[in-house]
Amino acid sequence: MFPLRTLVPGPVDLIACMGDTLTHLDGIAQVRSLVAEAAALVVPAGVLILSWRDLTRLPEGDARFLPIRSSPEHLFTCFLETVDATCVRVHDIVHERAGDGFSQRVSSYLKLRISPEMVDAELTACGLEIDRATAERGWITRVARRPAP
C-alpha cells in the first residue's frame, strides 16, 4: 500500500476515501493502517469520510448475478462468490458485439468483506468521533471528526 503521508504532505481539514477503495485493499490490516494514517493527518475539527460497498451479507442463488451496465454493443454482469469470512471473489462478465455475434471476456478479483463495526472501532481508537453512520442501498458510509481542543 502506498503511504498516505507521501500523498498528503501535512495536516488536512478533510480526507475522503469513497467507492471501492477500501474493499480493494489486500487485507484488513491494510484497512486498519489506512484509517490510522488518515486519522493522523486530520486536524482538530477535521473530517474523515469513508464509504465502501457492503459485502458482509451477499445475495444467494441467482441473485448473485448482478447486471451492471448494458448498451446495444455491451452487456456487463458481475457474479459474487463467497471465498471466506474476509473475502469475496467478484467475476466480471462482459459480452461485446463482434460482427454477427458476441464475444465474452471474463475476469475475477478479490474484494474485502469489511464490517462497519470494525471500522467504527478503528475510527474511535484513532481518536475520531463518528458524526454519521449510514448503510443505504448497499453502501456503508462513516463521517468521523477529530474533536476540537
pLDDT band, residue 3 (cuts 50/70/90): low
30-69 pLDDT, tens digit each: 999 999 999 999 999 999 999 999 999 999 999 999 999 9
Residue 59, exposed/middle/buried by CB under 10 A (0-12, 13-18, 19+)? exposed
How many angstroms separate the Cα of 67 from the Cα of each of 31, 64, 73, 142? 28, 10, 15, 27
This prediction has a pTM of 0.86
What is residue 70's predicted lDDT score, i.e. its pLDDT?
95
Architecture category of domain 61-112 in CATH: Single Sheet (2.20)
The CATH number given to 4-55+115-145 is 3.40.50.150
d(CA 128, CA 25): 22
The pLDDT of residue 2 is above 90: no
What is residue 7's predicted lDDT score, i.e. its pLDDT?
66
The pLDDT of residue 8 is above 90: no
In this prediction, residues 117-129 reach a mean pLDDT of: 97
d(CA 104, CA 113): 28
The contacts of residue 12 (CB under 8 Å, 6+ apart) are: 41, 42, 43, 46
High-pLDDT (> 90) share of the chain, %: 87
List the chain domain ranges. 4-55+115-145, 61-112
d(CA 129, CA 39): 11
